Chains A and B, each alone.
Chain A
Amino acid sequence: MTARQKKIRVVVAKPGLDGHDRGAKIIARALRDAGMEVIYTGLHQTPEQIVETVIQEDADAVGLSILSGAHMTLVPRIMQLLAEQGADDVVVTLGGTIPSDDIAELKQLGVAEVFTPGAPTQQAIDFIRGAVRA
């Protein structure tokens, strides 16, 4: 199969301890309705568990959702583990309450895009489509 025909595989993941899963679930549904293959990890995942899922599922992209303020600890750890596993081609996006100063730093670490509260799901769909196909 060519890349064009293959369904995009996305892991939607909730790292850390916060249980705010409204956004993650909405995004998971929206990506699925847009024709992607969505694997939702469920809550309270460690960076190790998330990276293992990404590798096992051979995902093209991973959408992280963090509303606990722990993103500057959890995201760098996930980026590091992905690189160690040779999976740094996976498109990483992040959604949640992320202050704008942190966004620049996260992008430097290789996060492809950050979506803050109010971002429409279509924006995430379009972005992931574009970034995976690029």
Chain B
Amino acid sequence: MATRPRLSEIERWERETFGRIPERDAPFSTISGEPVKPLYGVGDLPVDLEEAVGLPGEFPFTRGVYGSMYRGRLWTMRQFAGFGTAQETNRRFRYLLEHGQTGLSTAFDMPSLMGHDSDDLRSLGEVGREGVAVDTVLDMEALFAGIPLDRVSVSMTINAPAPIMLAFYVVAAERRGIGPERLAGTIQTDILKEYIAQKEWCFPVDPAMRLVTDMIEWCAGRMPRWHPISISGYHIREAGSTAAQELAFTLKDGLTYVEQALARGLQVDSFAPRLSFFFNAHIDFFEEIAKYRAARRIWARELRETFGARDQRSLLMRFHTQTAGVSLTAQQPLNNIVRTAIEALAGVLGGTQSLHTNSFDEALALPTEQAVRVALRTQQIIAEETGVTNTIDPLGGSYFIEALTDRLEAQAYEYFAKIDQLGGMVQAVKQGYPQREIADAAFRYQQELESGLRKLVGVNSYTEGSEQPTPILRIDPAFETDQVERVREARARRDGPAAEAALAGLAAAAREPRENLMPFLLDAARAHATEGEIVRSLQGVFGSYTESPAF
């Protein structure tokens, strides 16, 4: 390696400076526990800066996936919403569109995420609580009533039952005369991170991976404007991971979906352009920006060099960002507006394609309309007032940012190697490896907080005795009763034998490993089979999943 005289110049500076003035008592490390030097210089830049950083829209895409970035088009402001019944969420969607939001994002309730109908005993108390309840295609129709599905892009945050919800959505659009080729949006579908972090599953790992691949395959031919999967680090981070773990596990999950689709016989360029990502924007500003930049570079390299992608669009790591729910505090909740603004800015400086900003009251309950409006306005202020969108990747070339980007990239490859030693990500997940790594990181952070090493304003420093109560959103328990009625009525009114035949057809297809299940799910949706019935019929073939409870 070439000698780097300027680095030793920094060392001299550091000795002289801190020899005279001691450093204050603070950790001087990122929230992930990575040490940070007092000063970075030329010697911290990659040796081949031009090659490692490049230009926006050009390999390795470190500086952005598109050439024009925000000078061409701003990111999509996409606030996640959903609660109560489909009609209620439909009203919130229209409200958001009227206030300048440019895409929709659907939150489902816990029973929908876990594949239970609203009248299932296990759904008691959970219907419409954390998102919208969708039991049949009729609910999906009500959810998007009056919304131009061929013009608004729609995101759905659901994983284990994603193929079922996509079937509901496609059939709901079909009934309005909108073909699947005109539907734009994203469905999350990332089941690996469910086993790793979010823990909402319906089936064991292998059949769940088959369902994901069935969907990717089906969408590759028919839904050119649809992203069949959003490979998500968000929940990995929320579960307490470090930035490097979020980056590494998410990209490894993504590479695993690519391998599975290739094993199915698909050509990489037939589906890779439709893969998208979803990352967290945590409070450690520079580490987050570096994480997105590293992610783009790794993905482009792996797709081109490992999988031989030729279509440039296959190389683009496009991503949605959400600010960190876990960084919000119940204490002094207005402070959360500031946290969210800083996190959102990190997402923008990191080149995100779409963004959700959390509302300040979310450590207490689902957000009120006022809190949601402030969150959306935060994005609009960043976009329209701050000037940060004038130039592309404004932090590119910063000694510190480039050094962090390199370090995160190297840490991701270290994790890739460990996971490969365990036999790949599916095996690693079955062995609980990423789950343990995350739990350890979460515990370490909590200890740092409690020892006072890390400060959290309003929680372990600058606390206030008594606080003004914050008005919160209350979910009317009547939603649950209404929705239970709706699903029962849907079952009573449909052509019963047709629904049973569709479910039987689905189960038979599930027994044939080479059969793509999407057409059978569409038939079940058209026959008004409920989500719970569809999941039960698949579980009859696939079985269900229980995690061994370790801590």
Contact = CB atoms under 8 A, between A and B. Distances in A.
B445 to A, nearest CB: 9
B178 interface: no
A41 B551 CA distance: 10
Contact of B110 (A18, A32, A120): A18
A110 to B, nearest CB: 18
Nearest to B125: A73
A19 B199 contact: yes
B123 to A, nearest CB: 8
Interface size class of B (residues with CB under 8 A): 35 or more
Interface residues of A, number: 37
Interface string B105-127: 00000110110100001111110
Interface in A37-55: 38, 40-44, 46
B129 A28 contact: no
A88 B533 CA distance: 38
Interface string A2-37: 000000000010001111111011101110100000
A55 B113 CA distance: 31
B329 interface: yes
Interface in B354-379: 363-366
Contact of A68 (B130, B326, B450, B551): B130
B549 A99 contact: no
Nearest to A27: B551
B513 interface: no
Interface in B120-140: 121-126, 129-130
Interface in B428-453: 439, 442-443, 446, 449-450
B363 A22 contact: no
A17 B198 contact: no
Nearest to B199: A19
A47 to B, nearest CB: 9
B126 A25 contact: no
Given A42-B546, A68-B110, A118-B329, A25 B122 contact: no
Given A117-B329, A121-B450, A70 B547 contact: no
20 contacts: A12-B551, A16-B126, A17-B110, A17-B113, A25-B443, A26-B446, A30-B446, A38-B551, A41-B549, A42-B546, A68-B126, A68-B130, A69-B126, A69-B130, A73-B124, A73-B126, A97-B365, A116-B363, A117-B329, A118-B458
Given A25-B442, A68-B126, 9 more contacts: A22-B439, A26-B446, A30-B446, A68-B110, A73-B126, A99-B365, A100-B469, A120-B460, A121-B446
